[in-house]
Amino acid sequence: MYSTKSYEMVNQVTLLAQQPLADALFCSANWWNTIPSEYQEIIEDELHQAGLRYNEYSIQNEGTMRQEMEAAGVQFHEADRQAFLDMGCKDLVMKYSIGQELLDTEVRSACGSDFMSDVLAYVKNQALLLTGLVNPQVVRTAEMMDMKCIVFVRGKQPDQAILDLAQDRQLVVMATKERMYNACGLLYLNGLRE
């Protein structure tokens, strides 16, 4: 909001204790597919690193940015976090009977992505995977990364083959109607901070 000066159009901000990581490149698939795969990997890695650097910059300069936005007329509001939790957490449900015996397993970290290549490349010590991707590769990726739980977001429904594979790999499977951003925020508000 700060770097794009969106606050010049929207002057009311609710603080949700969430920090998005921006690391996108918008281009046509035709153009992207003309680039050699090793260059694609370099571009993807540099975009991710740029997102991490911007995230760190935002954290370090949050006070200055807020002061500047307030001087421009922006009003900041604290969110009613309990109402947010009450509204959303009940929708993060154990919809499937897969992994019931593991529900007492403590998890301290999570990752949200629809790109399993990003999960493999960037995720370290994440115990819970949130994704809208519904295919067996999600289960295989979670297993390779020693994750304990998969949460399918946006109301996505895994088929029986995916559920069977998750059960074989001893993974908890959950689902939510929430979008990934909201589901990550709910977990963050409930103490999952890594």
Tens of pLDDT along the chain (194 residues)? 667 777 777 788 777 655 555 556 677 778 888 999 899 888 888 877 787 787 778 778 888 888 988 998 988 887 666 665 565 545 454 555 555 566 666 777 788 888 888 888 877 776 789 999 999 999 999 888 888 889 999 888 888 899 889 888 888 888 888 888 888 888 887 777 66
pLDDT of residue 78: 78
Within a domain: 100: yes
For residue 148, the enclosing domain spans 81-189
69 and 57 fall within a common domain: yes
Last residue of a domain, one of 52, 78, 104: 78
d(CA 3, CA 39): 28
93 and 179 fall within a common domain: yes
Pairing of strands 12-15, 75-78: parallel
123 and 183 fall within a common domain: yes
Burial 135-162 (b: 16+ CB within 10 A, else e): eeebbebbbebebbbbbbbbebebeeeb
Within a domain: 1: no
When divided into structural domains, the chain yields a total of 2
Within a domain: 194: no
